[in-house]
Structures are given as structure tokens and as C-alpha cells.
Amino acid sequence: MRMHLLVEHVLRTAEEQGLWLPHDTIIVAVSGGPDSVALLHIMHEISQHHMPLNLICAHVHHGFRVESDEEALLVENLAASLGIPFVMEAIDVPAYMKESGKGTQEAARDKRYEFLIKTAVNYDARSIALAHHADDQAETVLLHLLRGSGPSGLVGMKFNRTIKNVELIRPLLRIYKTDLIDVCESESLVYAIDPSNLQTKYRRNEIRLDILPYLGQYNGQITQGLNQLSSVMTAEDDYVEQATEKVYHELVRKVDERFTFSVSSFSGIHVALQRRLIKLILNYMSVDSELTDYNKIETLRDGISQKAPSTWSRDLGGGFVCIREYDVVTFQPKPLMQRVRYTYQLNAVVPELMVSEIGKILRMVVHLREQTSWSPLKGHEAVFDSDLLSFPLTLRCRQDGDTMKVMGLNGSKKVKDILMDDKIPPSLRAHIPMILDGNNQIIWIPGIRRSIHAPVSQHTTSILHMSLEDA
């Protein structure tokens, strides 16, 4: 393929994918191989004759091979011949491998991107142009398929992706390597050959050198087929992502670092959206992608979808947790396991008592019965015969073993069982106070139950009205 045809192809791709705008500064990553050499020439041709772009040639000196010095010089001379500024950095991959425990390929990739992003920031560049091509895409899709990836993995590499406020762009993603080598040969472009690309000890090389040729015996168009799969999955993945965003805004309530939704609303959406919604929330929480594989997400989905009311907590790793409390599911940072403890003693009726530990205010008013006309009481209100109450009253947190003589029931019942029967989420139970009389008997659990003590009757002359409200 001739240079002008590749340039036209890249221009169409750039316009379709929105890869750049006039006068953008673009860092072009050039290793010295035929792919990146062709990329630099194509970008230079575009910047000179089609759209004004400011190009910076960036090269990483890995220092792994004796040829590294020659490759660095080759790229530097290439940039000079085109009048493009050249930036290089030598990176110590072995030291980073020892520090991080990562393998050669992953460690080199990390340090390479670190340098490219730093260079982009230094030059105030909008993007970094990478030389990944259609054969790389096919290898990526197959690699993800072998790892058991879902639809998002079958998308492969995207034309543009933002990382640390810098766009990674791949203008050659629809061009095959043979076309890039052909243009290098036809234009007499000098490039280097990396012999490590022929070593099958690396998984990607193994896919390129062994697995794809083997599959090619059954489908001579295997590389093109994998690229078509990527293209189809890109569109469908985008569609499902948009649907998931819509569902997220309809179902999920975010308060601070807590993401909450109801089990009933979750159960009403398609299984595909259930999985995506969980992944989206975990992404918003910045949970490490290694902690969100299929099995973990499916385990969460199954637990959330259980029809029988249940409460459970699942550690997501990385300091995050998912909690189900009956019909409410919450994703949040792991809470500190510390019970709030407080005790307030009231020797007489007080208009207001601020309970700062739980963000509530207790209000108390005494009325003469004949001067009072009552509307139905709300859940946070209760009335008592003030003459039958023994003071001092105590407002305190719940304690182990608490019991209460519930109005309408014979005998006493454990407060723990009362809260469970009413399906009060465990995370809220610590915020529900107990109010006791002077005989140390629980007379009221605000919003939950009232005891048999000091009931208002036809003989009552004065009524104590209490309410517990948000501060």
C-alpha cells in the first residue's frame, strides 16, 4: 500500500473517531519498529499537508538488548530528518520489576506509559499516538477470549482512551501490519527489527506465532474475523454501557461514598444490565479491576437477587464492602466496626435534647388531656400518661440483652428480635435509641415499638408527648 493511501485511511479514521483537532500537540510513541516508524511518517505527512498538528517524537530506551542504543539513535535521526522534536528516557525495568513483583512485559509497559504521560504533561499535549494495528487488535481479542473475558474484553483496544487526563489514540487500528511494512519498503523507510518479538516465552508472541497460524488452518481469515468481532462488540458494548448508565441514574442513590439501590428494582432489570450495573458501581468506587472478575460479580449478583429477605456483607477487597439489608443493597468503603455509645439522663421534662451521636433531637411536651385534640401519631411520636411515668428518664444506645414489654403482646421480647422482625437494617440499628423510665424499663423504641408502661387512658389527666426527629 502506498503512503498516500495510508494517510487517507488514517484521516478517515481520525475524523470518524474524533482523534484530533487542528493545532493539537500529539506525542508520537516510536520504538523504531516498522509500525511506529510508519506511524510517525503518516502523522508527519498529515501535519504538513492536511491538518496543522504539533508532533513530538518520544522514545523509550529499555536497555534490555545490545541493539537498544542503535534503535534510540535510529529514532533520534528519524525525528531530526522530519524536523520533529525528539524526547527519550532510559528506564530501569529490572529495578521496577524487583520493586513491584511484576513480569518483564508488564513492568516495561508500566514504565513506558509513565514516561509517555509525563512527556504529554510536559508538552501540554492532548494525546499520545500509539502504533497498535489490526493484527495487534486480533491478538488482543484472542488473548482476552482465552482469559474468559466478557463482551467488554472482546472489544479489544479502543481508538481512543483517556488515562490520567491524557488521551491514548490508535490511528492505525484498522491497518494490517503487512501494509505498514509494505509502505516502509516502498518508501525506503529505515526501521529496526526486535528479535524478542520472535520469542514465544511471552504470551502475546505465542498467540501471534503459534496460536493464530494454527487457527488459520481452519479459517484463513481468522485475523480479519477477530477484528470484525471487535468492531461488532464495540458497538454493542457501547449500547449496553449507555443502557447501564441510564439504569444507574434511575435506580442508584449516591450519598457521599455510599451507592444504594433496592433489591426489587435490581431484580426488575435484565441479567446483562445487572452485571453491568455492579461493574459500573465498582468502577465508580475505583475498585481494582482485578477484584471484579466474572465469578465475583456473579456471586454478588446471585446474593442480591435472592428473593427471600436476607442480610449479609461481602468483602470486595481493597477496603470496600457490599452489604445487603433486606431490600436495600449498599456498596461502600468498609465501615469501622465501632458501636456508638451514649447515655442521657432526664430528671424532668425538657423541651429539647440534642443527641449528637445519632444526629437526632428528642422533643418533649406535657399537655392537659381536656385541652388536647390529637391527630394520628406518626412513627417517630409516642404519648404517655405523665403521672404514671417514673423519673428520671434515660435515653441511651441499645445494649446486649435489652428486652421490652411490647404493648399488645404478653410478656417480654428481646429488642434484637423486635428489630429483626421489623426488618430494620443492621447498619441502622445502632442509630435507634432506647428510652427507659426510672425503673430501668424500656418504654419506647422510637419509630419501632411502644411498651405497655404508662398508657394513655380515659383516666389520664396529663399527657407527655415525645418525638424523635432529625437534627
Average pLDDT over residues 275-286: 92
Task: Evaluate the omega torsion of the peptide bond into residue 351 and state whether it is cis, within 30 degrees of 0.
Answer: no
- Does the predicted TM-score (pTM) go above 0.75? no
Q: What is the pLDDT of residue 66?
A: 67
Fold type of domain 252-333: 3.30.465
**Model confidence at 135: pLDDT above 90:** yes
The pLDDT of residue 378 is above 70: yes
- Dist CA 59 CA 71 (whole Å): 9
Looking at mean pLDDT, say which of 136-145, 284-293, 335-344 comes out highest: 136-145
**Contact status, residue 442 vs residue 402, Cβ threshold 8 Å:** yes
Instruction: Over range 117-145, report the average pLDDT.
Output: 95
Residue stretches of the annotated binding site: 31-36
CATH architecture assignment, domain 343-470: 3-Layer(bba) Sandwich (3.50)
Helix (H, G, I), strand (E, B) or coil at 164: coil
Tell me, which fold does domain 3-229 have in CATH?
Rossmann fold (3.40.50)
Q: Cβ(364)–Cβ(464) under 8 Å?
A: yes
Amino acid at 444: W
Instruction: Check if the beta carbon of residue 442 is closer than 8 Å to that of residue 399.
Output: no
Q: What is the pLDDT of residues 326-369, one digit of tens each?
A: 899 999 988 755 567 889 999 999 999 999 888 899 999 998 87
- State pLDDT tens for residues 233-270: 999 999 999 999 999 999 999 988 899 999 999 999 99
Judge whether residue 319 has pLDDT over 90: no
Return binding residues for ATP.
31-36
**Mean pLDDT, rounded, for 277-289:** 86
Q: Could you give the 3-state DSSP secondary structure of residue 198?
A: helix
* 32: DSSP letter: S
The pLDDT assigned to 218 comes to 93
Q: What is the mean pLDDT of the chain?
A: 90
- pLDDT given for residue 201 in this prediction: 65
Cell of 372: 388536647
| Dist. CA 196–CA 216, nearest whole Å | 23
Residue ranges covered by each domain of the chain:
3-229, 252-333, 343-470
Predicted confidence (pLDDT) per residue in 178-218, tens digit: 999 999 999 999 999 877 666 666 788 889 889 999 999 99
Nine-digit cell at 307? 428473593
User: Among all chains, which residue has been given the C-alpha cell 458501636?
Assistant: 339
